[in-house]
């Protein structure tokens, strides 16, 4: 995975003029809006625009980093016991840490609705996937049948790739049209507001003009007048002007333009579009997260923000090209949902008193036994 995989411009998917052949198709298309952008891309935002908005950047960091930090486990469907996990699940691309691959995979699902891994190695005996590399969605072209219902083949950087085996794609499916497509207008509005705030900071519009009602003043007299006016305003709030000079107010400051209120409103709307509680991205005023309700908010984040993307990842990794059909990949949520020390002590005490757990098991659960 190189730098080009991280940043690229959107590649529009096109449908070829060929006969529909469902048997030869690579995969189905659930909604054309997930392939073709609304209004031909007129309302679609780019990743660069999205990440320039602090609300989206923070939400992306929270959601994608949280998913990458939660470990995966492999369980037998019959016994429910955990079994050894192949390296490709733990570390899909052996050249980079597994967490890096999962961070960018989660982002692709969030922003583009599709995430792509290209198969680089297969096991010779089982023909299951041994290693992959992440491909940024903007490099992938999707070619459909005449009805727009089936994917006939994929391309990477304009070159057709195999339908199966080494060089083919592992496709992760999201749940909607993708944030950049679905909330493109709102993202662009947020980016424009950020640019407006930067412009005011870089080149503030003058709010006062001293106009001479008499003869034109030379440059040195104007400079002295402005300097004395500035010094006087720093020392006292009351000003005096004679008949030769008139004070005029021009332009609008950010407060009159309600720039702060507009940015706050857009931040809340973007939090809704992303599906993350607004207080996580500081989009709501007056909200706070205390130690007592931290576990509840963590559960809320999991249910409404993380689970949809985690399900897309775990169900794809549970397909037969990765593991046997008798096994299932899922995320290890025990540590993520772990309560406070006081809550865990209360639970352990109850379980110990009814004989459901031993002291050794408690010590092991608290990692006191290595």
Please write the tens of the pLDDT for every residue from 292-302. 455 677 788 88
Higher-confidence residue of 166 and 24: namely 166
Higher-confidence residue of 182 and 256: namely 182
Q: CA nearest 60: which of 4, 103, 100, 18?
A: 103
Contact (CB, 8 A) for 139 and 5:
yes
Higher-confidence residue of 348 and 143: namely 143
Please report which confidence band the pLDDT of residue 328 belongs to, taking 50, 70 and 90 as the band edges. Answer: very high
Helix (H) or strand (E) holding 77: none
What gap in Å lies between CA 95 and CA 120, rounded to an integer?
12
Contact (CB, 8 A) for 154 and 143:
yes
Please write the tens of the pLDDT for every residue from 246-268. 777 655 555 555 567 777 888 88
Matching residue, tokens 């016994």: 79
The pLDDT, as a whole number, for residue 17 is: 41
Q: Which residues are CB-neighbours of 340 under 8 A, at least 6 positions away? A: 291, 294, 295
Q: Which long-range contacts (CB under 8 A, 24 or more apart) does 343-349 make?
A: 343/295
- Crossing angle of helices 54-69 and 307-317, in 10° steps, is 40
Please report which confidence band the pLDDT of residue 241 belongs to, taking 50, 70 and 90 as the band edges. Answer: confident
The pLDDT, as a whole number, for residue 18 is: 43
Which CATH number, 3.30.1120, 1.10.1740, 3.40.1350, 1.25.40, labels domain 206-250?
3.30.1120
Contact (CB, 8 A) for 308 and 275:
yes
- Crossing angle of helices 54-69 and 184-202, in 10° steps, is 120
Q: Which residues are CB-neighbours of 165 under 8 A, at least 6 positions away? A: 119, 122
Does the structure show a pLDDT above 50 at 98? Answer: yes
Please write the tens of the pLDDT for every residue from 341-367. 666 677 777 877 888 888 887 777 676
In DSSP terms, which residues pair with 329 in a beta bridge? 74
Q: pTM of this prediction?
A: 0.72
The pLDDT, as a whole number, for residue 155 is: 95
Most confident of 82-96, 202-216, 336-350: 82-96
What gap in Å lies between CA 236 and CA 368, rounded to an integer?
67
The pLDDT, as a whole number, for residue 304 is: 83
Where are the domains positioned within the chain?
A: 3-192+260-337, 206-250, 339-370
Please report which confidence band the pLDDT of residue 119 belongs to, taking 50, 70 and 90 as the band edges. Answer: very high
Compute the radius of gyration of the chain from its Cα atoms.
29
Higher-confidence residue of 200 and 185: namely 185
The token pair that represents 125 in the structure block: 């005996």
The pLDDT, as a whole number, for residue 310 is: 95
Please report which confidence band the pLDDT of residue 34 belongs to, taking 50, 70 and 90 as the band edges. Answer: low
Contact (CB, 8 A) for 133 and 118:
yes
Q: What is the mean pLDDT of residues 277-287?
A: 69
CA torsion angle 70 74 77 80 (round to 10): -70
* Mean pLDDT (the chain, rounded): 80
What gap in Å lies between CA 147 and CA 163, rounded to an integer?
20
Does the structure show a pLDDT above 50 at 38? Answer: no
């Amino acid at each position: 995975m190189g730098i080009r995989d991280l940043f690229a411009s959107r590649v529009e998917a096109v449908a070829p003029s060929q006969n529909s052949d469902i048997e030869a198709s690579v995969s189905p298309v659930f909604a054309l809006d997930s392939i073709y952008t609304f209004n031909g891309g007129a309302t679609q935002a780019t990743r660069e625009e999205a990440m320039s908005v602090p609300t989206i950047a923070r939400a992306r960091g929270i959601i994608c980093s949280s998913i990458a930090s939660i470990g995966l486990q492999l369980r037998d469907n019959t016994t429910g016991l955990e079994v050894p996990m192949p390296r490709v699940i733990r570390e899909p691309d052996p050249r980079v840490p597994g967490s890096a691959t999962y961070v960018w995979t989660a982002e692709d699902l969030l922003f583009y609705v599709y995430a792509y891994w290209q198969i680089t190695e297969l096991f010779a005996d089982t023909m299951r996937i041994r290693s992959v590399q992440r491909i940024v969605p903007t490099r992938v072209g999707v070619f459909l049948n005449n009805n727009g219902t089936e994917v006939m083949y994929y391309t990477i950087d304009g070159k057709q790739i195999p339908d199966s085996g080494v060089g083919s794609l592992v496709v992760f499916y999201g749940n909607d049209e993708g944030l950049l497509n679905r909330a493109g207008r709102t993202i662009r509005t947020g980016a424009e507001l950020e640019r407006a705030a930067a412009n005011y900071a870089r080149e503030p519009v003058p709010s006062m003009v001293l106009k001479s009602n008499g003869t034109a003043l030379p440059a040195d007299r104007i400079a002295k007048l402005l300097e004395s006016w500035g010094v006087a305003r720093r020392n006292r709030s009351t000003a005096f002007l004679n008949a030769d000079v008139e004070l005029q107010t021009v332009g609008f400051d950010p407060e009159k333009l309600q720039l702060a209120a507009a940015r706050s409103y857009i931040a809340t709307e973007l939090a809704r579009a992303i599906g993350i509680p607004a207080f996580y991205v500081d989009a709501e005023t007056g909200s706070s997260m205390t130690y007592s309700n931290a576990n509840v908010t963590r559960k809320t984040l999991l249910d409404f923000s993380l689970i949809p993307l985690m399900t897309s990842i775990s169900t794809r990794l549970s397909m037969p090209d990765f593991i046997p059909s008798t096994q299932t990949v899922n995320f290890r949520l025990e540590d993520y949902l772990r309560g406070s020390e006081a809550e865990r002590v209360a639970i352990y005490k109850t379980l110990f008193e009814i004989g459901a757990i031993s002291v050794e098991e408690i010590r092991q659960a608290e990692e006191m036994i290595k």
